[in-house]
A and B are shown apart, each in its own frame.
Chain A
Amino acid sequence: MQSFTQHTGIVAPLDRPNVDTDAIIPKQFLKSIKRSGFGPNAFDDWRYLDEGGPDTDNAGRKINPEFILNQPPFDKATILLARENFGCGSSREHAVWALDDFGFRAVIAPSFADIFFNNSFKNGLLPIALDAAVVDDLFNRVSAKHGLEVSIDLEAQTVSCEGEEIASFEIDVFRKHCMLNGLDDIALTLQYADQIKTYEENRKQTAPWLF
């Protein structure tokens, strides 16, 4: 997993609540057996005017000029700003892979759906939940200054913009540690293999029907 320490980048405002994972990566792309290559189809239904499939050459497709990520400089954005309950719906990790592949390193919203939130950490995409009022303020700042850049410092747990710290955010100690160091959490868990085996042995006695 790629680590995340500090990041500064352009913020793309996606002014919608309840952006679901079906919207982030539509189902036809889930047929892939790979983990990469979803970026060109992130937000496919909103981004293109014609319908695409896993085999479509995206270069030849009709772009929707209204969609924010098609408007420079947001096509180079690395931080996504959205409204509440971002990433709701399907558990598809492809949504995170698509955002990551597009170039996003962080998503800022007032709240996130649980599974999306979890999946993000597994892929080095930092979800930052901020107060609705702070998010609102960020939307205003972004519309006042086209191409506004924001800086995120995971170590300090802060978000800054134009040299001013505008918010601090919460993150679990364990998740922060894994993100900062880009750790593979399977290897971490396997350090406790003996404890898992002991647990299993006990369960075999008390609940044999589970084995």
Chain B
Amino acid sequence: MNKAKTLYDKLWDEHVVRSEDDGTALIYIDRHLVHEVTSPQAFEGLRIAGRQPWRTSSVVAVPDHNVPTTDRSQGITDPVARLQVETLDNNCKEFGLTEFDMSDVRQGIVHVIGPEQGATLPGMTVVCGDSHTSTHGAFGALAFGIGTSEVEHVLATQCLMQNKSKNMLVSVDGEVHAGVTAKDIVLAIISELGTAGGTGYAIEFGGDAIRALSIEGRMTVCNMAIEAGARAGMVAVDQTTLDYVKGRPYSPAGETLEKANAYWSTLHTDDGAEFDEVVHLNAADIKPQVTWGTSPEMVVDIGAVVPDPDDEDDKVKADGMRKALAYMGLEAGTPINEIMVDKVFIGSCTNSRIEDLREAANIAQGKQVADNIKLAMVVPGSGLVKKQAEEEGLDKIFTEAGFEWREPGCSMCLAMNADRLESGERCASTSNRNFEGRQGQGGRTHLVSPAMAAAAAINGHFAKI
């Protein structure tokens, strides 16, 4: 009998083309997602070396980081950003790659459109020149971010040289309380593991609370695996996965689908398989989370206060906390629910899917954005999410409450376009990174769920939901 395997072992083994003696393996890549920021130098590299893409049908490209979220009929006004997006358009034309360009209704954040189109399927290896590629692991796929040299490598060879990671299981046991979302679960996990706790591991998320999540929720959890240091996060395939995948443009149909379903149903960790590390969290202990510092591990629940560096024994950590508090303009001991915010951003590849928008709209319905809020914006993850939200009337709920309703893209998650924080501004954001300057130089980011972001917009400060 074969040795019991983890999900990650299975995905890895299926994709090894050859192995070196030292364990380095050449692994095959099924799906390559491409966006405008990390690809131009890779295409340039191909041209210089006179190489062609190995398998054009494996590529789906989309501009997302730099695109404006306001009226697009005038194109992009920033000439540098425009050149980058045009460079992607031209590269895709030159090399014969599928691209959903800025005018395409399917355009959106790369990690939202892949799954939406069925371009992400269970059992695949999925890569993209973007660290949040871990998102796609929600389908029982091996998905991870790569650098530009590797983008070029995959384009040219369809493969990557990799070392196998260690196996970690993060099991969230039991049921979460009402009002606790996938975002709160993953922030609680990061709080437990720390931002480097997952380094060198592929994390499988399991347990009842993960099983109970929709695919959207699982994507939110896997999205932030990288914030715990793990390059890949994943969830085993179950009926929820199969139901989501069925009928999407890139998904198989008919007999092939039946064959695929049979294989996909094997994509889970075998009984008795061993993990190098196992971490358990009790779902019932998880409360809505709010980050207070400049690293995603600097997170507490809504009922807590800003922690005191003097209580931290580790000197390097305490020092990091002091720097974070100074940057964030916060005093230790301040109750989280008294922190006033200036801007609210609902969007990003963590939380811009239909379910996220419903969750936020639910809180905003019939209310008004507080007077101290300078801007509250909702940026759907894709043109199709936007369309669906409009069909459900969510856009009306938001605009009537005083939120701005925008075109899809990365937007204020990393502020490469005009959507950004000014120095000193404080933001409740559904994105995934609260690093210094992430949302604009001097900007202060608090990571929260869509529901908490909406509550902050309505109350003017964080609030119990």
Contacts and interface: CB of A to CB of B under 8 A. Distances in A.
Interface of A: 15-18, 20, 22-23, 26-28, 30-35, 45, 51, 54-55, 83-85, 88-94, 96, 111-115, 118-119, 122-123, 172-175, 185-186, 189-190, 192-193, 195-196, 199-200, 203, 207-211
B195 A18 contact: yes
Contact of B196 (A54, A84, A195): A84
B242 interface: no
Interface stretch (B14-22, B355-363, B374-382, B392-400): B14-22
A93 B38 contact: yes
A172 B23 CA distance: 9
B196 A20 contact: no
B66 A31 contact: yes
B157 A96 contact: no
A85 B229 CA distance: 8
Given A31-B80, A33-B83, A114-B231, A91 B121 contact: no
27 contacts: A16-B323, A17-B316, A31-B37, A31-B83, A31-B84, A33-B40, A45-B441, A89-B131, A89-B433, A89-B435, A91-B145, A92-B147, A93-B148, A111-B199, A115-B131, A118-B147, A123-B149, A174-B24, A192-B18, A195-B17, A195-B18, A195-B26, A196-B158, A196-B159, A207-B123, A208-B256, A211-B57
Contacts of A196: 17, 26, 28, 54, 157-159
Contact of A83 (B54, B131, B316, B414): B316
Contacts of B65: 30
Given A30-B416, A33-B84, A172-B22, A119 B435 contact: no
A92 to B, nearest CB: 7
A185 B159 CA distance: 11
Contacts of A209: 121, 251-252, 256-257, 259-260
B150 interface: yes
Given A33-B83, A210-B124, 11 more contacts: A22-B433, A31-B78, A84-B316, A85-B229, A92-B147, A94-B148, A114-B229, A172-B22, A196-B158, A207-B260, A209-B121
Contacts of B83: 31, 33
B170 interface: no
A147 B130 CA distance: 37
Given A22-B437, A26-B441, A91-B145, A190 B156 contact: yes
Given A31-B81, A31-B84, A91-B146, A16 B20 contact: no
Contact of A122 (B150, B159, B260, B436): B150
A90 B441 CA distance: 17
Nearest to A136: B316
Contacts of B93: none
Contacts of B26: 189, 192, 195-196
B44 interface: yes
Contact of A92 (B38, B55, B81, B150): B38
Contacts of A85: 195-196, 199, 229
Nearest to A210: B30
Contacts of B44: 33, 35
B146 A115 contact: yes
A175 B20 CA distance: 12
A28 B148 contact: no
Interface in B189-220: 195-196, 199-200
Interface in B291-329: 295, 316-317, 319-320, 323
Given A114-B200, A209-B252, A17 B17 contact: no
Contacts of B17: 192, 195-196, 199
A51 B438 CA distance: 14
A174 B129 contact: no
Interface in B1-51: 17-18, 20-24, 26, 28, 30, 37-38, 40-41, 44, 49, 51
B152 interface: yes
Contacts of B406: none
A146 to B, nearest CB: 22
Interface in B158-175: 158-159, 161, 163
Contacts of B49: 186
Given A22-B436, A96-B147, A185-B161, A28 B416 contact: yes
A114 B203 CA distance: 14
B125 to A, nearest CB: 10
Nearest to B40: A33
A17 B317 contact: yes
A209 B245 CA distance: 12
Contacts of A27: 414-416, 438
B441 to A, nearest CB: 5
Nearest to A22: B435
Nearest to B198: A114
- Which are the 7 A-B pairs with shortest beta-carbon distances? A122-B149, A119-B147, A209-B252, A33-B40, A93-B147, A85-B196, A91-B145
Contacts of A55: 80
A30 B414 CA distance: 11
A94 B87 CA distance: 17
A146 B406 CA distance: 52
B275 interface: no
Contacts of A210: 30, 121, 124
Contacts of A84: 196, 316
A29 B229 CA distance: 24
B195 A172 contact: no
A1 to B, nearest CB: 9
Contacts of B21: 173
A35 B22 contact: no
A31 B256 contact: no
Given A16-B320, A22-B433, A89-B435, A54 B28 contact: no
Given A91-B130, A115-B145, A33 B229 contact: no
A176 B422 CA distance: 44
Contact of A186 (B41, B51, B260, B323): B51
B95 interface: no
